Structure 1
Amino acid sequence: MVGNLGRAKQFGEINKLLNEMVRDGCQPNTVTYNRLIHSYGRANYLREAMNVFNQMQEAGCEPDRVTYCTLIDIHAKAGFLDIAMDMYQRMQAAGLSPDTFTYSVIINCLGKAGHLPAAHRLFCEMVGQGCTPNLVTFNIMIALHAKARNYQSALKLYRDMKGAGFQPDKVTYSIVMEVLGHCGYLEEAEAVFTEMQRKNWVPDEPVYGLLVDLWGKAGNVDKAWQWYQGMLHAGLRPNVTTCNSILRTFLRVHRLSEAYNLLQSMLALGLQSSLQTYTLLLSCCTDARSKFDLGFCGQLMAVSGHPAHMFLLKMPPAGTDGQNVREHVSNFLDYMHSEDRESKRGLMDAVVDFLHKSGLKEEAGSVWEVAAFKNVYPDALREKSCSYWLINLHVMSEGTAVTALSRTLAWFRKQMLVSGECPSRIDIVTGWGRRSRVTGTSMVRQAVEELLNMFNFPFFTENGNSGCFVGCGEPLKKWLLESSYVERMHLL
């Protein structure tokens, strides 16, 4: 019952049930607490999950391997790798040696947090400790290398896995198809699909959805639509993720009437638009080529029926200090609390970019500040070492990047005026930019460089890295101290 209520996110009812248990003389045990921790973790209530962890120990109930693995998993997925690794160390200190499952969880956590070398070292340690990897472990390692775009390493692991006697399952085939697709070998990915059928694995909706996504990202609308139709003919019901893939494909080539029909068919199938659905529509609205396209995109956003549309429609004017906008955004993010961070980041990026390009730059700045405060962009600003800071803009659209950079530089100036301490160095990383369409160019990089030049920021590039602007030393300190207009940079 605790597990069922947790899946339904009925935490008030869970507490009533626990009180009833205790009244009936039935004390919660480790399994009960583990269910509760897992339920809070799934809903992204990490503080409450830790509170349960502390309560179970106070009640004299010893955490087991499942307890620690759950806490490691939920914190790593939320981006709190330090807490996840602390839990791993506490598990070892408690005398709980990792088994194959535990290693797999931690390897997965490290990899998803972007620490692939550490994940690979742990995989080697696992083998060295005589703990045999299973098919799940191999699938995790292949998937992590695929995510890091180490496609050749992923394919080598696939061959190693088969050499060790493991037969691929549906998950393995899906990952390998994705790797081949990202390498540009889409026909080979289709061949793996055929092999999968030959080995009596019945392709499910996610497998069809993967091929829809791969062909869509390759720009082949007709092929993507063919696989989407193939899925329907196989008697499978598309999920929202697959619908988003084909929707993205239609929007990218401005086939708006087909996008409209797809949205209508989603609703007819009883599918609710997701945060990603609305983000795609809002980004299309921002990039609209004409007033007609702009109006049509507005209709699409309304048809989606997602709460984000009312959030955007009811966005208040900035006022004198932007506090009303910040409260509006804060309330919406609280409402969207259970959504994963990547989805929230995508929406906030689209909202800031839309407001910035619509001329509502004060509102855009306020939205960014709340998103940064709510940890939606955990990697946007970090201190690499003492007084050496990194501003990471490479996953943002150009409007968001310019807003984030100007507000962050304003924060540095404010901190310096309060404490008298100035950063010794600031690296502004643009990469090639999320919106880059041609290798070697980046709209994010161009927008950032224009902003820095406009305000005479004392930057230089080093080691041939044209995607990273560096400011340091006395010129940086002088600029922050004397640039009174830094508070208003985001308004240009």
Structure 2
Amino acid sequence: MASLPLCRSPSSLLPSWPHRPISASFHPKNPSSPVAAHVSVQDPPPQDPAPPSDSSTNGTRPSSNTRYLWVNPNSPRAAGVVRARAGSGRRSRLASAAAVLGACEPAEAAVAAALEAAFPEPPSEQDAVIVLNTAAATRPETAVLALRWFLGNAEVRKKVILYNVVLKLLRKKRRWSETEALWAEMLQDGVQPDNATFSTIISCARACGLPSKAVEWFEKMPEFGCSPDMLTYSAVIDAYGRAGNAEAALRLYDRARSEKWQLDPVICSTVIKIHSTTGNFVGALNVFEEMKAAGVKPNLVVYNTMLDAMGRAMRPWVVKTIHREMVDQQVQPSRATYCCLLHAYTRARYGEDAMAVYRLMKDEVMDIDVMLYNMLLSMCADIGYVDEAEEIFSDMKASMDARSKPDSWSYSSMVTLYSSTANVLGAEGILNEMVGAGFKPNIFVLTSLIRCYGKVGHTDHVVRSFDMLEDLGISPDDRFCGCLLSVAGNTPAEELGKVINCIERSNAQLGAVVKLLVDTSTSSESFREAASELLSSSRGVVKMPYCNSLMDLCVNLNQMEKACALLDAAQQLGIYANIQTRTQTQWSLHLRGLSVGAALTTLHVWMNDLDTALQSGGEGLPPLLGIHTGQGKNTYSDRGLAAMFEAHLKELDAPFHEAPDKAGWFLTTSVAAKHWLEMKKASELVAV
């Protein structure tokens, strides 16, 4: 395009024509230049300035260095300048009208006066849309009044457009009652809603936490001849999930897959959450893999939902894989991400991973509330992380945030931790600190304290802690009674009466059974009947702990006959299920989860069963015999059941040896077992 020439023609050469005065300024490329150029389609270019006189040179009269660029009014460039100037004025006028509307009181007269002043002539439909869209700070009541004014005064062809604009404003403000009222007004005005109307109302209901309303409006769409689009389906699947109608949500999701709709992270996140809440964790994992296969990139919400689901599923190894993938995809984790990781690792007792996440949150100065702290302390108490628990507890006390200060559960976890390690001074110190902080000891604290005293043999302290329970007006529960029963199993015979008295005061029926057990004159059958009645009336979660502790007491008092009778009663009640398994190649005894006394009693009965099978001359023994004790700590033994059992098998000179490739298993062959049983029987005959 040719550049416009600088024109210095005399003004007499300019033709005259009627035109609208418009002027624009042109700034030179070099702003520091003293020469300014002006473009004008109205004013004629001035004459060249006369040569400066001596007076002007001396500074008595300023000289003009201004240049003018003349544009032909008939050229396209002049028309563009006019349109730009006119459009700028319109935008400014509409923005001013929106600002006035935003500051206006929600009164019909005030709104009408403001809009009449802004629009002396009837506004267009586009003007109305722009003003309503721009007035983001407008009160919902004011927006509805403005809508009515525009509907009555503007040149509107499709009223539904204006209604949809105000509905979006109500959605943004989360005003559900006004949304329903505007819907009714819209129908009364004879306006036919469209897909955008329903999509806006459905998403408004979801944003207001009313998923049932979102579903209700979705089901109304066919009545008005509207077909849901993908965005509407996405919102409704989420609404069905939030409303608890998992079946409908999954049905829509299956339809989306079969019809090859474009999935989005919102739909997938909702379906994953539905599967998680219903316990279908495999389904949640399948949806996660399907969305990636379909090319949908998981966002932060999807990753957090999956981490939460796999944490609930107790699959910490999957949680680690998903978190690693999230980091590789450069998705920035949020606080919710770290909370999901802590939930997963603490529930699964992944101590190292949980502590790594905790320290990362500390380094990034993230908010850690008392609930997260208590989860960590509970994990540390269960797996014996003393140093880590003390670090966490110190951080809680040093925190400036009141939401992070220790509560009664924090102190309870610390007492449990010291109790599990038989640290009496530590447990008593935390108890005193708890009372000093204004918290009363609860039944969990006293239960842990009694267990701690029982481990170190402080029977008098056990009784004193029990008296504290009565002083505080706390009623003993099944867990507390089970703790007393466990303490009784490790109490010397000369002090056993003190603990039995506490048991009887806590649970009269349990105390009566313990007295029958201790009384050597009571028959095994009488004890068995009383124990069966007790176990039948007890809650399911305490039946096995009661059996374990009672058999510990039987073994410690050398009442093996009563222990066997109790084991038989427990098996008939289904308390010890699948404790023995038999295949053609291996017979196994499963002792994992049993106390030491219960495991020894079960082993005694199993050995008798092996001897009976050997003597019967029937099918005989299989090629392999195995005892599964599990590995790691045992609830009822500090040494662990595997270590204790290994020592006991050596005492019996039994041919069972720990399997090198199967942790927690002791194996032997039928030949070795047969030889040992025959030698054992022969030695018993010699002893007789």
The TM-score, its normalising length taken from structure 2, stands at 0.47
Q: Contact 1:285/1:294 (CA < 8 Å) preserved in 2?
A: yes
Taking structure 1 as reference, are residues 277 and 128 closer, same or farther at Cα in structure 2, changes over 3 Å only?
Answer: farther
Q: CA deviation at 1:228?
A: 1.4
1:308-331 deviation per Cα after TM superposition (whole angstroms, max 9, x unaligned): 223434569999x97765554444
Report the count of equivalent residues.
398
Distance 2:532 2:488 in 1: 24
Q: Which residue of 1 aligns with 2:546?
A: 347
1:185-236 deviation per Cα after TM superposition (whole angstroms, max 9, x unaligned): 1542432232445464242211011122223334332332232133233332
Distance 1:206 1:195 in 2: 17
Give the gaps of 5 or more residues in structure 2: 1-211, 213-245, 251-270, 292-301
Q: Which residue of 1 aligns with 2:342?
A: 139
Q: Which residue of 2 aligns with 1:408?
A: 606
Taking structure 1 as reference, are residues 254 and 121 closer, same or farther at Cα in structure 2, changes over 3 Å only?
Answer: same
Q: CA deviation at 1:390?
A: 4.5
Q: Which residue of 2 aligns with 1:358?
A: 557
Taking structure 1 as reference, are residues 346 and 180 closer, same or farther at Cα in structure 2, changes over 3 Å only?
Answer: closer
Q: Which residue of 2 aligns with 1:168?
A: 368
Q: CA deviation at 1:173?
A: 1.6
Query: How do residues 264-413 of structure 1 correspond to structure 2 at under 5 angstroms?
Result: 264-291=467-494, 293-305=495-507, 307-313=509-515, 328-338=530-540, 340=541, 343-372=542-571, 374=573, 376-377=575-576, 380-381=579-580, 387-393=585-591, 395-411=593-609
Distance 1:166 1:402 in 2: 50
Greater mean deviation of Cα atoms: 244-253 or 197-206: 197-206
Q: Does 1:261 align with 2:464?
A: yes
Give the secondary-structure state (helix, strand or coil) at the position aligned to 2:657.
coil
Q: CA deviation at 1:138?
A: 1.9
Q: Does 1:449 align with 2:650?
A: yes
Q: Does 1:158 align with 2:395?
A: no
Taking structure 1 as reference, are residues 268 and 289 closer, same or farther at Cα in structure 2, changes over 3 Å only?
Answer: same
Distance 2:612 2:332 in 1: 53
Q: Which residue of 2 aligns with 1:16?
A: none
Give the secondary-structure state (helix, strand or coil) at the position aligned to 1:254.
coil
Give the secondary-structure state (helix, strand or coil) at the position aligned to 2:386.
coil
Give the secondary-structure state (helix, strand or coil) at the position aligned to 2:422.
coil
Distance 2:281 2:353 in 1: 27
Give the secondary-structure state (helix, strand or coil) at the position aligned to 2:666.
strand
Q: Which residue of 2 aligns with 1:426?
A: 625
Matching residue's letter, 2:597? G
Distance 1:371 1:204 in 2: 39
Query: Could you tell me which of 385, 405, 409 is aligned with 1:183?
Result: 385
Query: Could you tell me which of 311, 316, 328 is aligned with 1:107?
Result: 311
Distance 1:402 1:128 in 2: 51
Q: CA deviation at 1:294?
A: 1.9
Q: Which residue of 2 aligns with 1:20?
A: none
Q: CA deviation at 1:346?
A: 2.6
Q: CA deviation at 1:88?
A: 4.1
Distance 1:159 1:441 in 2: 34
Q: Contact 1:275/1:308 (CA < 8 Å) preserved in 2?
A: no
Distance 2:398 2:602 in 1: 47
Q: CA deviation at 1:352?
A: 0.8
Give the secondary-structure state (helix, strand or coil) at the position aligned to 2:314.
helix
1:138-171 deviation per Cα after TM superposition (whole angstroms, max 9, x unaligned): 22223035x2xx4322212324556788532223
Give the secondary-structure state (helix, strand or coil) at the position aligned to 1:110.
coil
Give the gaps of 5 or more residues in structure 1: 1-30, 32-59, 73-86
Distance 1:327 1:418 in 2: 34
Give the secondary-structure state (helix, strand or coil) at the position aligned to 1:471.
strand
Taking structure 1 as reference, are residues 288 and 462 closer, same or farther at Cα in structure 2, changes over 3 Å only?
Answer: same
Distance 1:433 1:483 in 2: 34
Query: How do residues 220-231 of structure 1 correspond to structure 2 at under 5 angstroms?
Result: 220-231=423-434
Q: Contact 1:395/1:433 (CA < 8 Å) preserved in 2?
A: no
Distance 1:69 1:373 in 2: 36
Taking structure 1 as reference, are residues 88 and 216 closer, same or farther at Cα in structure 2, changes over 3 Å only?
Answer: closer
Q: Contact 2:627/2:665 (CA < 8 Å) preserved in 1?
A: yes
Q: CA deviation at 1:351?
A: 0.4
Matching residue's letter, 2:423? N
Q: CA deviation at 1:354?
A: 0.9
1:343-369 deviation per Cα after TM superposition (whole angstroms, max 9, x unaligned): 433321110111223233222113223
Q: Which residue of 1 aligns with 2:414?
A: 211
Taking structure 1 as reference, are residues 389 and 88 closer, same or farther at Cα in structure 2, changes over 3 Å only?
Answer: farther
Distance 1:191 1:220 in 2: 18
Q: Contact 2:284/2:306 (CA < 8 Å) preserved in 1?
A: no
Query: Could you tell me which of 377, 381, 397 is aligned with 1:194?
Result: 397
Distance 1:432 1:413 in 2: 31
Taking structure 1 as reference, are residues 240 and 71 closer, same or farther at Cα in structure 2, changes over 3 Å only?
Answer: farther
Q: CA deviation at 1:436?
A: 5.5
Matching residue's letter, 1:172? L
Taking structure 1 as reference, are residues 192 and 349 closer, same or farther at Cα in structure 2, changes over 3 Å only?
Answer: same
| Percent of pairs with identical residues | 18
Taking structure 1 as reference, are residues 349 and 448 closer, same or farther at Cα in structure 2, changes over 3 Å only?
Answer: farther
Q: CA deviation at 1:475?
A: 3.8
Q: Contact 1:251/1:259 (CA < 8 Å) preserved in 2?
A: yes
Taking structure 1 as reference, are residues 61 and 244 closer, same or farther at Cα in structure 2, changes over 3 Å only?
Answer: same
Matching residue's letter, 1:399? G
Distance 1:377 1:131 in 2: 48
Q: Does 1:471 align with 2:676?
A: no
Q: Contact 2:319/2:341 (CA < 8 Å) preserved in 1?
A: no
Q: Contact 1:392/1:429 (CA < 8 Å) preserved in 2?
A: yes
Distance 2:473 2:462 in 1: 17
Q: Contact 1:278/1:306 (CA < 8 Å) preserved in 2?
A: no
Q: Contact 1:397/1:444 (CA < 8 Å) preserved in 2?
A: no
Give the secondary-structure state (helix, strand or coil) at the position aligned to 1:427.
strand
Q: Which residue of 2 aligns with 1:17?
A: none
Q: Contact 2:579/2:591 (CA < 8 Å) preserved in 1?
A: yes
Distance 2:641 2:395 in 1: 33
Taking structure 1 as reference, are residues 469 and 263 closer, same or farther at Cα in structure 2, changes over 3 Å only?
Answer: same
Distance 2:658 2:361 in 1: 43
Q: Contact 2:370/2:403 (CA < 8 Å) preserved in 1?
A: no
Give the secondary-structure state (helix, strand or coil) at the position aligned to 1:247.
helix
Give the secondary-structure state (helix, strand or coil) at the position aligned to 1:236.
coil
Q: Contact 1:250/1:259 (CA < 8 Å) preserved in 2?
A: yes
Q: Contact 1:345/1:377 (CA < 8 Å) preserved in 2?
A: yes
Kindly name which structure, 1 or 2, has the bigger radius of gyration based on alpha carbons.
2
Q: Contact 2:570/2:576 (CA < 8 Å) preserved in 1?
A: yes
Matching residue's letter, 1:157? V
